Structures are given as C-alpha cells and as structure tokens.
Amino acid sequence: MYRLKDQLGEDTVNRALRQLLHDYAFKPAPYPTSLDFLKDLRQEAGPDPARQQIITDLFEKITLYDLKAASASVKRTADGKYDVTLTVKAGTTPGSTGKEYDDGQGKAIERPQLDEEVEIGLFDKEPGKADFGSKNVILLQRLRLHSGEQTLHFTADRKPTFAGVDPYNTLIDRNPDDNVVAVGK
C-alpha cells in the first residue's frame, strides 16, 4: 500500500477507497471483494498505462525485483558540495532483467524489461538502523531505472556515507540486503 500511495498518489487511493465505501457501506449482500476495489482503483488511476501496470504488478501478479546498489563513491567539489556516483544493477543473476513474474511456486514465468521509477537515496547513516531518522536523509528521489547496470550521478550539500536503490524496500526484492551500500572514496 505504501508503494501504491507513492506511485499513484494518496488522493487517488483515498478516492478509490471512498468510492468502495460509498457503493457498499451499510448495505446487504453481495459484499465487496478485492476485485471491486481494483475496479475503483483502476478508474481513479486513469488511462495512463504506467499507472495501470502498477496496479497489475501489485494486485494481479506475483512481481519480484532483483535490484542492487553495486557501488558508490563521493568526491568533494571546489564549491564545498559532493559529487556522488552510484552504480545500480537491475538484474544480478543470470537471465534476470531486474523484474520478474513468478508462478507462485518460485519459478519465473516472465521476465519483462525493467522500465519504471524506483526510489534512490543518499544518507549520512545507514537506513533501517535504530538511530536512523529523517534528518539522515540527504537525498531521496524517484528515477526511471532500466534493466542492466546504470551509473547515476548526484550533487549533495552533505557528504553521504550510504547510498541505495529502493532503500526502504517498498519493492519485493529477492535480496533486499544488497539495496544499500557504503559510500567509498
């Protein structure tokens, strides 16, 4: 639901939920099912194929990702800022494209090319640790990623010590432990 909110917008999701309540609240059978919610959600999401694909991936298929923050480096610039280079791999195992649909038994049935927005982050502490908070986020933005390896460049006001792809694990990744990497020199 967090990813749905992030990708479609909280207002879109809330409108779909309000419509479902309007249609079924305090009424006798037949009662709503998840299919009724999906109908309302698709209506509110509009005709954009990317938005419709998110709904399909989240609710109608078993969608798994294979993303990795391979390496990150930082250099101080003359103006006191930091140039950060992050190498991300979408598809780290043989045959992987970074995204796959599974059959429910652990077998990939389709491996479409990855072409979607994914959160990228720079941090001065490791995300997920007990002392990590919003103050430790230097940069957090959504970028379109594709299958294969890609090198991303950022300019930051503070020196990051960690960088990651999908750092908060909103995607179902086979190995979420490799999504964040320490920033080297």
Residues 50 and 90 in one domain: no
Do 100 and 167 lie in a common domain? yes
pLDDT digits (tens, 9 = 90+) for 138-147: 999 999 999 9
Q: Distances in Å between the alpha carbon of 73 and those of 39, 50, 52, 84, 184?
A: 45, 32, 36, 6, 5
With a cut of 90, say whether residue 2 has pLDDT above it.
no
Averaged pLDDT for residues 153-166: 98
| Residues 50 and 68 grouped into a single domain | no
43 and 103 fall within a common domain:
no
Q: Helix, strand or coil for residue 62?
A: strand
Domain stops at, among 30, 45, 60: 60
Supply the DSSP symbol for 184: B
Residue 174 makes CB contacts below 8 A (sequence gap 6+) with 64, 65, 66
Token duo for residue 127: 């995300």
Residues 151 and 76 in one domain: yes
Pair 88, 98: CB distance under 8 Å: no
Please, what is the average pLDDT of the chain? 96
Q: Which domain holds residue 7?
A: 2-60
Beta-carbon count within 10 A of 6 CB: 15
Regarding whether 126 and 79 lie in a shared domain, the answer is yes
Where is the domain boundary, 60, 76, 102? 60
**Cα 43 from Cα 45, distance rounded (Å):** 6
Q: Residue count of the chain, please give it.
A: 185
User: How far apart are the C-alpha atoms of 136 and 140, rounded to whole Å?
Assistant: 11
What does each C-alpha distance from 159 to 107, 126, 150 come to in angstroms? 41, 13, 22
Give one DSSP letter per residue of 90-107, joined into a string.
Answer: E--STT--SEEEE-SSS-
Q: Does residue 95 sit in the same domain as residue 50?
A: no
CATH number of the domain to which 161 belongs: 2.60.40.10
Q: pTM of whole model > 0.85?
A: yes
Instruction: Give the domain-ending residue among 16, 42, 60.
Output: 60
Report the Cα 143 to chain-centroid distance in Å: 10
Same structural domain for residues 148 and 113? yes
- Domain match, 76 and 33 both: no
How does pLDDT run across 88-129, given as a tens digit for each residue? 999 988 889 999 999 999 899 999 999 999 999 999 999 999
What pLDDT does 64 receive?
96
Take residue 94 and report the two structure tokens written for it. Answer: 């043989």
Number of domains in the chain: 2
Same domain for 53 and 76?
Answer: no
Kindly state the tokens that stand for 67: 């993303």
On whether both 97 and 173 belong to a single domain, the answer is yes
* Residue 43 and residue 105 in one domain: no
